[in-house]
Amino acid sequence: MPKNRFPDSLPKRELRRRVARRIRVFREAKNLSLGLSYCGMPSIEFLDVQAWKGSLRSVCAVEIDSEILSDMHIQWNSLALGLPIHFVSADILEFLVSTNDCYDLYNLDFYGGFVNPTSTGKSRCVEAIRCLIHRQSVRNQSFILVATLNVRDRGVAEYLAFIDNVPQALAGWQNIERCCIVHKKNQATRLKLCFPYLCWHLGMSYNFAVRFTEAVVYQSTATMIHFYTEFTLQERALPDLTSNKVLADMISMPLLRLDGMIPKVELAPPQVDKP
């Protein structure tokens, strides 16, 4: 039977279990009785789909490698999970920009990193996420974004410049400058701040209330960082006055490290408080 090229591990299994619990709560809160439509990169063994199948109604599986995609067809037939599936042969970043479809749950592995600027200075990952959030807003559809990023990323200067601009969003709040300085420590801590901040900023711009859980760093074939974020569409004529509190809470969250099933605190930043 075909196997994933990236081996499974105890931290990955634990993260899938944690996400499964959160997906069930999200589904119940949104009254999605038929289950969630999934879009992601499940690889050959569909381990995430198997772990979350009780909350799913359909699967869109994206894969750029033709050999892997062929093995995925074989494995899917042998699993017999009873879910309708759509296979897409594409680069995930190009797919997220070009597709017209929306989903309830995205599980995305950005092995190329987050910023990772191209020759034009732009980030394909950032543009893909922006297009995804905009499209969900146009369709009035709340969703979950599960994202895994490679910590061995380029664009350190871009991260640092990005972090330097964060205090403007919370001008006057206590400890914001200190908290941002602490997040410049290494690539994992920079990602821990920059990726959720982008999600918060884009979510707020497109009328979503954004809810975060703690970021988790773990070791796989490389050092990876895992994010779970919920975007709930809100109909409102005026800006959400609670959004700054959401941002402050997100920045204040610890960064966790998962070597087995029990997470340890990798970074405990200063708490950002109201003026």
pLDDT at residue 111 tops 80 = no
In this prediction, residue 153 carries a pLDDT of 61
In this prediction, residue 184 carries a pLDDT of 94
**Which segment of 40-44, 161-165, 206-210, 250-254 scores lowest on mean pLDDT?**
161-165
d(CA 274, CA 234): 24
| Residue 114's pLDDT band (cuts 50, 70, 90) | confident
The Cβ of residue 86 has, within 10 Å, a number of other Cβ atoms equal to 12
Q: Which two tokens stand for residue 215?
A: 């970021």
DSSP 272: P
In this prediction, residue 118 carries a pLDDT of 59
**Which segment of 145-159, 191-205, 230-244 scores lowest on mean pLDDT?**
230-244
The burial of 255, by beta-carbon neighbours within 10 Å (0-12 exposed, 13-18 middle, 19 or more buried), is given as: buried
pLDDT at residue 210 tops 70 = yes
pLDDT, one tens digit per residue, over 168-185 is 989 999 999 999 999 999
Q: Which two tokens stand for residue 44?
A: 């050959």
In this prediction, residue 239 carries a pLDDT of 55
Domain boundaries of the chain, sorted by first residue: 10-267
Rounded to the nearest 10 degrees, what angle do helices 187-205 and 243-252 cross at? 170
- Helix ranges (H only) for the chain are 10-29, 47-52, 66-79, 92-98, 124-138, 156-165, 176-182, 187-205, 243-252
In this prediction, residue 182 carries a pLDDT of 96
Minimal CA–CA distance to 136: which of 31, 238, 272, 231?
A: 231
Residues counted in the chain: 275
Q: Which two tokens stand for residue 7?
A: 């081996």
pLDDT at residue 265 tops 90 = yes
pLDDT at residue 12 tops 70 = yes
The arithmetic mean of pLDDT across residues 55-66, rounded, is: 96
In this prediction the pTM is: 0.93
Q: Considering only the top CATH level, what class is 10-267? A: alpha beta
pLDDT at residue 63 tops 70 = yes
| Residue 243's pLDDT band (cuts 50, 70, 90) | confident
In this prediction, residue 240 carries a pLDDT of 62
d(CA 193, CA 170): 14
In this prediction, residue 157 carries a pLDDT of 80
